[in-house]
Amino acid sequence: MRNPEVVVIGGGPAGSSCAILLAMRGHRVVLLERESFPRFMIGESLLPAAWDLWDRLGVRDRIEDAGYPVKRGVLFRIEDTEGFHEFLIRTDEFPQYFVRPFTFHVDRAHFDRMLLTRAREVGVDVRERHNVNRECRRRARHGVRASSASREGRAVSACRAE
Ligand X SMILES: Cc1cc2nc3c(=O)[nH]c(=O)nc-3n(C[C@H](O)[C@H](O)[C@H](O)COP(=O)(O)OP(=O)(O)OC[C@H]3O[C@@H](n4cnc5c(N)ncnc54)[C@H](O)[C@@H]3O)c2cc1C
Using alpha carbons, select from 38, 45, 7, 43 the residue that is nearest to residue 124: 7
Terminal CA-CA length for the chain? 14
Is the CB of 81 or the CB of 87 nearer to ligand X? Answer: 87
Pick the stretch among 27-35, 94-102, 118-126, 135-143 that binds ligand X (CB under 6 A).
27-35
What does DSSP assign to residue 112? H
From the list 4, 15, 48, 143, which residue makes contact with ligand X (rule: CB under 6 A)? Answer: 15
From the list 1, 45, 58, 69, which residue makes contact with ligand X (rule: CB under 6 A)? Answer: 45
Using alpha carbons, select from 15, 79, 23, 78 the residue that is nearest to residue 41: 15
Is the CB of 10 or the CB of 123 nearer to ligand X? Answer: 10
Across 138-161, b (16+ Cβ under 10 Å) vs e yields eeeeebbbbbbeeeeeeeebebbb
Is the CB of 139 or the CB of 154 nearer to ligand X? Answer: 154
CB of 15 to ligand X, least distance (A): 5
Q: Is 44 in the site for ligand X (CB under 6 A)?
A: yes
Q: Is 9 in the site for ligand X (CB under 6 A)?
A: yes
